[in-house]
Amino acid sequence: MTTFNRSALFPGLAAVLIPIAIGMVFFYSPLEKTMGSVQKIFYFHLPLALTAFLSFFVACISGIMYLRNRQRIWDARLAASVEIGVVLTTLVLITGSLWGKPIWNTFWTWDPRLTTSLILWFIFASCLILRSAIDEEGKRATFSAVMAIVGFVDVPIVFLSARLFRSIHPTVIRADSVGLETSMLVTLLVCMAAMLVFWVGLYKFRVSLFLQEAMINDLQTDGTKS
Amino acid sequence: MKDTYLVLAYMAIWIGLSGYVVALAQRQRKLSAKIEVLHKRLRVKED
């Protein structure tokens, strides 16, 4: 009898959903009238941004929980989510620039949405640098917890920047409606589901890797002491 | 011309994400090697 491997659930689901999502982007969703084919970047640009926000939200919650409980698991969750969040934000900035060039005729402009996103990237990238610079586990976890909590303040600013300030960045999800045709919306939702499942798989893998590394380090330190 | 940016963006996304997963897999492999060394050391100690 074959046993069901629970750890393979999310990576397996992602392996199914991602090709479906890419297929829908290129073969199901219609071509946008003004922007043409380049608009198809949007179907992964937005899910990447939303999963990056989710990462930083998890990092913030983990930071709060670490400061309350001082348990290693919360530091592992924080480290994993910050690292994944930085990778995703990097991809958001790259895809945004590649979308901006043919549409705005520039790779970069100091628009509020773009600027606040770059600041977000800098905050959490510096959190990663800070983590690699401190050897003492308790200090490293405390400092990065504080940084993740403070850094999360920028997430709602990024989200609201295109709504509150004069911005050239489009806002698709509005308070009263979603500015997309049904087939485009369905494609976007499938892409979001695929990215979310991928994120969960990646997050679980990174947390377990972090904990294993910490345990091995403990064993090595104990070994050298005795 | 617009298609070039679309291709570049999708390449960036999937090379970026798969590169990150590969980097994590490498770390996992290094960790397995460390566990093997520790296990060997423990067996020598026990003997």
Burial class (CB in 10 A: 0-12, 13-18, 19+), B37: exposed
pLDDT at position A194 is 97
pLDDT at position A168 is 84
Chain B residues touching residue A101 (CB < 8 angstroms): 5
CA distance A133 to A119: 21
pLDDT at position A169 is 85
Contact call for A213 and B12, based on CB within 8 A: no
Q: Whole-model pTM?
A: 0.92
Tokens 């405390």 sit on residue: A142
At A69, list the tokens: 């409980």
* Complex confidence, ipTM: 0.90
pLDDT at position A78 is 97
Number of neighbours of residue A160 by Cβ within 10 angstroms: 14
Is A218 in contact with B38 (CB distance < 8 Å)? no
pLDDT at position A175 is 65
Contact call for B13 and A99, based on CB within 8 A: no
Is A53 in contact with A84 (CB distance < 8 Å)? no
Chain B interface, best mutation among A81, A216, A217, A220, by max B CB count within 10 A: A216
Q: Domain containing B20: what range? A: 1-47
**Chain segment B10-43, per-residue pLDDT in tens:** 999 999 999 999 999 999 999 999 888 888 888 8
Chain A residues touching residue B9 (CB < 8 angstroms): 41, 44-45, 94-95, 98-99
SS3 A36: strand
Per-residue pLDDT of chain A (226 residues; tens, 9 = 90+): 556 677 788 999 999 999 999 999 999 999 988 898 999 999 999 999 999 999 999 999 999 999 999 999 999 999 999 999 999 999 999 999 999 999 999 999 999 999 999 999 999 999 999 999 998 999 999 999 999 999 999 999 999 988 888 888 887 776 677 778 899 999 999 999 999 999 999 999 999 999 999 998 888 777 666 6
User: SS in 3 state form for B1-47?
Assistant: CHHHHHHHHHHHHHHHHHHHHHHHHHHHHHHHHHHHHHHHHHHHHHC
pLDDT at position A6 is 75
Number of domains in chain B: 1
